[in-house]
Every structure is written in C-alpha cells, then in structure tokens.
A and B are shown apart, each in its own frame.
Chain A
C-alpha cells in the first residue's frame, strides 16, 4: 500500500491484502506481459460496502495473469493519473457523495474521453448513479450526473436491500444490493444483466445495472468481482489490450472456491 500524500494532504487508504508500493510503476524488466494502470475513484468516500475488494481482486488477478498492476487512488481535489487502463468506483453514503461531486465535475471530461476510447470502467452503486444523467432527490431536486450512462435515478424512501442473482453475458452473477435510488434506463440503454433474484435497477422492470461500450454500472456489492471471476477477467482483458496494444494473454486460473461460493448463492436464491 502506498501512502503517497496528495497535494492537498489526503492520504491513500489501505486496501486490505494489497502489497506495499503497488502504486509504483515497476521497472521494465519486472513488468511481465505489460503494466496495467488501475484507478480507484474516491476510495475514502465511496467504498463503504467492501468495494475496495474489487480493486484488490483486479490487482491480484492482473498479477496472476502475468501482468503488472499499478494501483492509483484518486481523491477529491487530487491530480487524475496520467495513465489509466481500468477505472473502478464504489458506493458511499450521501455525505460521501456530496464530497465527491465537485471533483467529479472537474474530471468529467477526462472520464468521458476515456470512456469514448473504450477504457473499461466498473462503477458500483453511488458511482453508478453519478455516471448517469441525473439523480432526482426525494424532494424533487435534480442533481446532474456525468451522463456517460443513459440512466436516471429517482430517490425514494424505500431501500432495496438484499442478495441478488443476475443473468449476464458473463454467466450468472451474484452480489448484494443496498440502495434507495430507483434507476430507469433510457431508450436503447443496455442493462448489465437481468434479475433472477432481487430488485435490480428499480424492482419492476427486471433490469440490473447498465452497459455502454466498456463502461459497466451496477448496484452489486458483495463485492461483485471476487465471486464472479469471469466478469473480473473480462475487465482485465479489455484493460490489458488497452495497456499493451496486443490481445489479452490470460493464464489458466483456479477459481474453484469462487465458483462454489457463487453457485451456492444461485441455488439458495433462485426458485426454479
């Protein structure tokens, strides 16, 4: 873990399991198949439900596939990293969301450009909402989002909480949702998956999350990536191509424990 102090003095947070100095760029002879720069947006304010686990999973699997991860943490007011091949963000409290909004506006153009260039992004819960068109609060106030995903979220009093099973292009995906916003997809906006158990975007239309190009938004904590390694590797594959200009060269992985954890959740939750 690096505690590289940002110019305004916000230290990096500790990502459980990540080795010291994983924010440093390795020498060329230690880069393996290539260096992949991962950026975690607002880890202090927006990782309340274990979403740091996604970053840890990506860094660990990048290493297992023979590449070299560089893990950056972007804090409000900080300098956005020059190189970014894979961007992740998580869920936070309302107070955390308020704290990042101004900075998100600052880096909005950069995120748009990266998204247009096909940079893979995984935005969970609060950050998924902020990447949408807008969040309409319970009392009707409209908070604009970045509009990278064509979704709109309506705040409501009732929280949608519980375990989730989805059907996605990456197979069954399991996780846990905990959100009070109810999200509607714009016409032509693809979802991330179809709900087999749980609420999803709004509890009514059977959709969960959103996907545009390589930008994925989802409400799933859990965190989502450890138990769904096919999805994790899809993101890494896209990032590896961006980083190296070559097709992804994966190594075989032993995901027996993850597969068991996931299939047990599916069996528990889906009534056939």
Chain B
C-alpha cells in the first residue's frame, strides 16, 4: 500500500499548504487522487456500519450536520465532510486530516454530503450502503440543464445503493424513485404531517407531469413526519398519528405514538420550516441506521444543539450586533430563506456572483418574489451581478439604496450604515466565501470546516 501512503502524505502536505493560504478545500483531494486513483474505496474499506450519502438540491449541508450529530449522540464515531465541499475531491480533502498513513479511515459510519452529479461519481468508486434523497429543484441549470436530469441522477444513485434508501414523501420527483431501488433494499420516507401540507408549495418545485398515474406513497410506521406546534417547536412522529379514524376521541400529539419513538417536542437553533424538514429527514435516516438502538431523547437533544452550518443562517457578532449570512443558490432556496426571515425585516444586503459554483445564469432571480423586502428596502446590492440584482428588485418595487459591485466595499458601507441593529446578507456561494474571509479576518468566526463544537 505504498502508493496509498504516498497519496496520504502528499495530500496532507497539500492540505497544510492550502490551509495556510486560506485557499480551496478540493486541491489536497486532487493531489491524493492523482497519486492513488483507488484512494476513496481504500479509505472507506474498513467503515463497518454504513456509508451514507446525503444528496438533493436543497438542505444537504444542514441535514448532513444534523444526521451526524444524532449518530454521534448515540456513541457512534462518524466521518463526515463538513466543509460543504461536496465533490469527491472535497470529500478526500476532508478525510486527509483524520486519515492514518495506511490510508484507512477509522470510523463506525461515514456520512457524506455530495452534489447530485458527484454522488454518482462517488458511487462508481464506492457503493453507498444508504442514501438520503432530499428534494429536486431548479438549481444551477447551466450545469444540470433540467430538473428531470437531476431527478434521474438521484434515481441512479438509489439504484446503486445496497441496503437502505430514505426518500422525500412529498416531493414526487423523489418519492417516485421508490420504484427504482434494487430488490431487498429497504425504503423509508420522511415528510410533513397533513396539518402543514398546505405549506409545501412554498418549499418545492412544481412537478408538471400531473397527467401521469403516479400514486404517491403513504407514510408507514417507520417513516418520520414533521409535526410543528408553532413557528419554532415541532415533533417528528413515526407513521401518521392522525391516520385513519380517531378512535380514542383524543388527538393530542403523540397520544398513540408514545411507543413509536416520537422525537421532541424540540426547537432548533436554525429558523424556518426548511430546517425542520431537514431535521425530520435526518431523524428518519438515523432511525433506519440505528435500528433498535435509536433513542428519541438522545436524538432530540442532539438536534437542539446543532448550530447552523456556515452561511446557512450562521450568525457573526459584529460590534455587539448579529450579522446573519444566508446562502442562496436557487429559487426554492431563496424563497424559503425570504419566508424564514420575512416576518422580521432587518437591514439587508444581497450579494450575487455568477462564477461556476454560484451558477453562471442569474435568470433564476426572476423566479423568486422579493415583495417581502418591500417594507424595509435593501441597503445595498453587491457582487459581480450587483446591478442585475438591483434591476430585479426594481421590478418588484423594492427600494435599493446603493449598488457596489466590490464585496468588501459593500460590506464596509453596509456595516457602517447600520451599526446599532441586526443585519442580514443574502449571498451566493462564492460571494459568501469571500465575505466570510473578510469577516473572519476581523471578527471571531470559526474557520470553514472547523466549526467550534
């Protein structure tokens, strides 16, 4: 295994070098992969309890973090790629820090967040035992071209998964994948309780194939459903506790699910319905992975403690006031983000770049309604496409006080104008990375991928 050892050494060296430069997280992985093409399969060969891939358009990073937290709360050692670098090389890069020189990872489970296309590349190298498929939405169509294509990628991944697949009950692009899994592979679902089914349209893509005869699945006793009691508090119930006729006459939450492992009630640190759905997906998956060892109380405790991943509603304290960074990358995600924060208008900046990682086509901004920003207006738009963002807001009658395409200059102006109040920046991926670097240099902010735990 000399080649692997050489790859580990070279990769570790590249990792140190790129961290010193504060640079990209994929380069060390590239170095290791060049020296040993079988690196990934080798590294994961000794992981006994599951190689879990989390993919889908929205919520991968948040859900992965939650799933890892729940598994660790059950005493499992888990390897994961926490940097949001969800290409195979990024996975290798994040491994290099933990990898002994013989190149084999020492963990009970690996939980990997992967980009939809890279999930398949990964599966070609290592067959996942489990897959959690979150949703399919319009995202980076300059790369994926079509939603149908993305759905196809997820279906192919499910076909190659060996043990168990967890699907989104409410997203018909995903739930129809049930017919594609191999014989003997278990299928579980996560979804929302019918009490909030009317809020689904704000979260997901319209499936325009409403003329075909697909019959959506119905939640069974092993499937996790989100049941909120107010804007922040919710339970994850297994099986529909409102299914069938109400025989007892009492329909208090959990009355007939006590023995069924209801998780919660609990509140997350991250706001919004999307985060609650992510927690439901993570819970259903953890339960599948842990089987009888699953402990609802431990799961709830772990979920309560999960801090938002960087850029997903992460809060930086700037001169005693919270500054929230919100990553936006597609219409469904931006719409959810606006809905999450729209009820409390704060000083707002929006930074739009159009590099490859952002999606080069900014057309998607016209599939988002910005009317919730009308009341307060937007202080500044920035990024390479700052003027296009301002133009978009103009067409929704949202006042924009200034445009400054330079991110640092815009940030300075934004902070200076609102010193005594909470602030929020919606930003695309590369804009967020740049802003975060600037903020990290000035304020106390955990390094990307090294979150304060």
Contact = CB atoms under 8 A, between A and B. Distances in A.
A64 B141 CA distance: 32
Contacts of B360: 161-163, 176
B251 interface: no
Interface string A141-179: 000000000000000000101110000000000001010
Interface of B: 138, 141-142, 145-148, 206, 208-209, 211, 354, 360-371, 385, 387-388, 390-392, 394-397, 403, 405
Given A95-B209, A226-B392, A16 B366 contact: yes
The A interface, classified by DSSP as helix, strand, loop or mixed, is mixed
Contacts of A93: 146-148
11 contacts: A17-B370, A48-B147, A96-B208, A163-B354, A176-B142, A176-B361, A223-B363, A223-B366, A227-B388, A261-B385, A261-B388
A159 B354 CA distance: 19
Contacts of B369: 14, 16-17
A2 interface: no
Interface of A: 13-14, 16-17, 44-45, 47-53, 56-57, 60, 93-96, 99, 159, 161-163, 176, 178, 180, 221-223, 226-227, 257-258, 260-261, 264
Contacts of B405: 264
B98 to A, nearest CB: 37
Given A52-B366, A180-B145, A261-B388, A221 B361 contact: yes
Contact of B363 (A14, A45, A50, A257): A50
A66 B396 CA distance: 18
B148 to A, nearest CB: 5
B208 A53 contact: no
A176 B388 CA distance: 13
A17 B145 contact: no
Contacts of B363: 49-51, 53, 176, 221-223
Contacts of A57: 395
Nearest to B211: A99
Given A226-B392, A257-B391, 8 more contacts: A17-B371, A47-B367, A48-B138, A53-B363, A56-B395, A99-B211, A162-B360, A257-B403
Contacts of B146: 48, 93-95
Task: Name which of B138, B360, B367, B403 has the most chain A CB atoms within 10 A of its CB.
Answer: B367
Given A50-B364, A178-B142, A45 B208 contact: yes
Contacts of A45: 208
A264 B386 CA distance: 10
A176 B209 CA distance: 26
B367 A257 contact: no
A60 B366 CA distance: 14
B208 A95 contact: yes
A172 to B, nearest CB: 15
B145 A50 contact: no
Task: Name which of B206, B365, B405 has the most chain A CB atoms within 10 A of its CB.
Answer: B365
B208 A44 contact: yes
Contacts of A44: 206, 208
Contacts of B392: 53, 226
Given A178-B141, A257-B390, A60 B361 contact: no
Contacts of A264: 387, 405
A178 B385 CA distance: 19
B367 A52 contact: yes
B248 to A, nearest CB: 38
Nearest to B363: A50
Contacts of A53: 363, 366-367, 392, 395
B334 to A, nearest CB: 11
Nearest to B335: A16
A16 B364 CA distance: 11
B387 A48 contact: no
B246 to A, nearest CB: 31
B394 to A, nearest CB: 6
Task: Name which of B142, B211, B385 has the most chain A CB atoms within 10 A of its CB.
Answer: B142
List 5 A-B pairs, minimum CB-CB distance, nearest first: A53-B366, A50-B363, A50-B366, A261-B387, A16-B369
Contact of B395 (A17, A49, A51, A163): A17
Nearest to A229: B391
Contact of B397 (A13, A17, A49, A51): A17
B367 A261 contact: no
Contacts of A180: 145
B328 to A, nearest CB: 14
B370 A16 contact: yes
A83 B405 CA distance: 43
A161 to B, nearest CB: 5
Contacts of B368: 16
A155 to B, nearest CB: 13
Contacts of B147: 48, 93
B208 A99 contact: yes
A85 B148 CA distance: 34
Nearest to B390: A257
B366 A95 contact: no
A99 B370 CA distance: 30
Given A48-B138, A176-B361, A56 B366 contact: yes
